């Protein structure tokens, strides 16, 4: 985390106010108390009297024409508190060259900006909008806490296999409910499949479990997060609270609903609630919320609203970044390592391209992992990994996008015989096989990938790849156990 650095710049602790309008006294009020010295030049004796009680403020009289600078005018910054544009320009004419000249006047804000002055504070319209937004959020938090304050068995449900956003949102809502003394259960209806999500649940050490039938019946307040009752194919829960960012499927009958499909994550909504209500966000909660926002918006690169960016900013410094980087790095399952090493040992390099055919495999994830990591090889600008999954040939393309477009390569190679496409750095093709043997996929791959290559060279490619497939498969894993 960046530490605040001492700098010779930006350490101004002295501000000079020049003028006579109604903004002088409030502006002084804004500045004093923060260890800032204020010097005021004014032609108005009433202002001089009004400023007498303030400490750290020196007031000097100036001629009402403001025609000339006072003899000992301090350095910038300056705040001009005059209403007439002519007078503001007149004062600026004798001020030193600086960008730090603010104009505080009752005049229209736009005109101040148009005249080349900075404005000191945000406009009242902006402040009002922000206040109203806060109030409506607080009203929402009040409503939720009212609903659970006397509940005996509040229940928070995540739909199916809970993703990080659902987990973050559920914990955020639980924190709000717990502030009333309620003890909500947090449950999911499916099964946790992804390794990272298991890791996250382990880290949180919260009793988050699979929903049992009697729990739903016993619950007196049911909340659904990051989903809507309409998601259930049968027996949707009778939810009292629904908070979600998915498009609305059917009208929501819940007593409380907050559905914002323009938000990138449900965690964002919960971060807003917690921040506006001034509730503490502990490290683990912040980590879950941040990870929820990050995964649903692909690190703020997809479906991201300004609300998501603001929420990200508000919890970023509270989160556990060592744990988040552990999560980000946990992508290769242990049992894939042998297949990866087989692939590396059986690579075929042609100019700046690397080709690996894995033969029959269980999951295309292997192709993605290997293609991504082989792109790190010096001199390799694009990688193609192929494998037969069920009755399809899957070809994964990865490139740096610098001099080639692998998405269009995938399309021109396989677009006519299967579905193929992508963008400059990523491409993919899926070709239906009609029960053909894995051997024929080698020809299919080479003939389509290298349409304009000399026949002899293509045959060499096919021979090498076939030999690879007929050779030894991945070696058996060696594991050191403690037993």
The site for Mn ion (CB under 5 A) is made up of 165, 226, 266, 296
- Cβ 415 to Mn ion, closest distance in Å? 33
* Between 226 and 405, CB nearer to Mn ion: 226
- Cβ 165 to Mn ion, closest distance in Å? 3
Q: In what order do the strands lie in the sheet with 221-225?
A: 208-210, 185-188, 154-158, 221-225, 241-244, 256-259
* Between 164 and 359, CB nearer to Mn ion: 164
- Cβ 168 to Mn ion, closest distance in Å? 9
* Between 67 and 298, CB nearer to Mn ion: 298
- Cβ 224 to Mn ion, closest distance in Å? 12
Locus of tokens 């009203």: 139
Per the CB < 8 A criterion, the answer to whether 397 and 407 are in contact is: yes
Per the CB < 8 A criterion, the answer to whether 243 and 266 are in contact is: yes
- Cβ 302 to Mn ion, closest distance in Å? 12
DSSP for 266-316?
A: HHHHHHHHHHHTT----HHHHHHHHHHHHHHTTTTTSS--HHHHHHHHHHH
Per the CB < 8 A criterion, the answer to whether 211 and 237 are in contact is: no
* Between 170 and 420, CB nearer to Mn ion: 170
Strand partners, 429: 395, 420
- Cβ 28 to Mn ion, closest distance in Å? 48
* Between 102 and 159, CB nearer to Mn ion: 159
* Between 80 and 224, CB nearer to Mn ion: 224
* Between 272 and 296, CB nearer to Mn ion: 296
Per the CB < 8 A criterion, the answer to whether 172 and 166 are in contact is: no
CB atoms within 10 A of CB 462: 16
* Between 296 and 405, CB nearer to Mn ion: 296
* Between 165 and 405, CB nearer to Mn ion: 165
- Cβ 258 to Mn ion, closest distance in Å? 13
- Cβ 242 to Mn ion, closest distance in Å? 13
Q: Which residue from 315, 313, 260, 263 is spatially nearest to 284, judged by alpha carbons?
A: 315
- Cβ 299 to Mn ion, closest distance in Å? 14
Tell me the Ramachandran region of residue 441: left when phi exceeds 0, alpha when psi lies from -120 to 50, beta otherwise. alpha
Rounded Cα distance, 411 and 65, in Å = 75
The residue nearest Mn ion at its CB is: 165
Q: Which residue from 39, 43, 101, 100 is spatially nearest to 68, judged by alpha carbons?
A: 43
* Burial class (CB within 10 angstroms; exposed 0-12, middle 13-18, buried 19+) of 246: middle
Per the CB < 8 A criterion, the answer to whether 389 and 400 are in contact is: no
* Between 112 and 295, CB nearer to Mn ion: 295
At residue 19, the 3 state secondary structure works out as strand
Rounded Cα distance, 422 and 360, in Å = 23
- Cβ 197 to Mn ion, closest distance in Å? 13
Rounded Cα distance, 343 and 177, in Å = 51
């Amino acid at each position: 985390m960046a530490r605040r650095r001492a700098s010779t710049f930006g350490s101004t602790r002295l501000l000079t106010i020049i003028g006579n309008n109604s903004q002088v006294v409030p502006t002084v009020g804004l500045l004093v108390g923060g260890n800032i010295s204020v010097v005021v030049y004014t032609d108005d004796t009433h202002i001089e009297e009004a400023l007498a009680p303030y400490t750290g403020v020196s007031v000097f009289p100036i001629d009402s024409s403001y025609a000339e600078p006072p003899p000992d005018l301090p350095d910038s910054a300056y705040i001009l508190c005059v209403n007439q544009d002519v007078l503001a320009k007149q004062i600026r004419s004798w001020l030193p060259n600086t960008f730090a000249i603010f104009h505080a006047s009752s005049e229209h804000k736009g005109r101040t900006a148009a005249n080349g002055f900075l404005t000191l504070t945000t406009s009242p319209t902006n402040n009002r909008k922000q206040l109203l937004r806060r109030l409506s959020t607080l009203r929402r938090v009040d409503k939720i806490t009212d609903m659970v304050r006397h509940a005996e068995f509040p229940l928070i449900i995540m739909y199916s296999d809970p993703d990080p956003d659902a987990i973050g949102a559920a914990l955020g809502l639980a924190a709000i409910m717990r502030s009333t003394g309620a003890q909500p259960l947090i449950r999911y209806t499916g099964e946790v499949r992804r390794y990272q999500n298991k890791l996250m649940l382990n880290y949180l050490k919260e009793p988050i479990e699979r929903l049992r039938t009697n729990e739903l019946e016993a619950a007196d307040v049911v909340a659904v997060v990051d989903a809507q009752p309409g998601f259930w194919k049968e027996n949707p829960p009778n939810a009292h609270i629904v908070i979600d960012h998915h498009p609305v499927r059917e009208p929501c009958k819940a007593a409380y609903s907050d559905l914002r499909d323009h938000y990138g994550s449900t965690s964002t909504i919960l971060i807003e609630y917690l921040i506006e209500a001034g509730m503490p966000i502990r490290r683990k909660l912040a980590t879950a919320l941040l990870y929820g926002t990050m995964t649903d918006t692909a690190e703020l690169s997809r479906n991201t609203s300004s609300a998501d960016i603001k929420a990200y900013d508000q919890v970023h410094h509270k989160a556990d970044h060592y744990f988040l980087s552990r999560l980000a790095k946990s992508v290769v399952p242990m049992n894939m390592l042998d297949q990866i090493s087989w692939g590396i040992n059986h690579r075929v390099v042609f100019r700046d391209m690397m080709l690996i055919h894995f033969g029959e495999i269980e999951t295309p994830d292997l192709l993605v992992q290997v293609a991504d990591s082989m792109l790190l090889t010096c001199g390799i600008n694009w990688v193609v990994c192929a494998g037969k999954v069920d009755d399809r040939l899957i070809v994964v393309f990865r490139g740096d996008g610098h001099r080639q477009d692998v998405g269009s390569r995938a399309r021109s190679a396989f677009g006519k015989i299967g579905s193929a496409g992508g963008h400059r750095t990523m491409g993919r093709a899926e070709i239906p096989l009609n029960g053909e043997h894995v051997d024929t996929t080698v020809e299919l791959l080479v003939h389509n990938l290298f349409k304009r290559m000399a026949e002899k060279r293509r045959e060499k490619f096919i021979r090498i790849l076939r030999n690879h497939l007929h050779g030894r498969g991945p070696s058996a894993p060696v594991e050191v156990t403690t037993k």
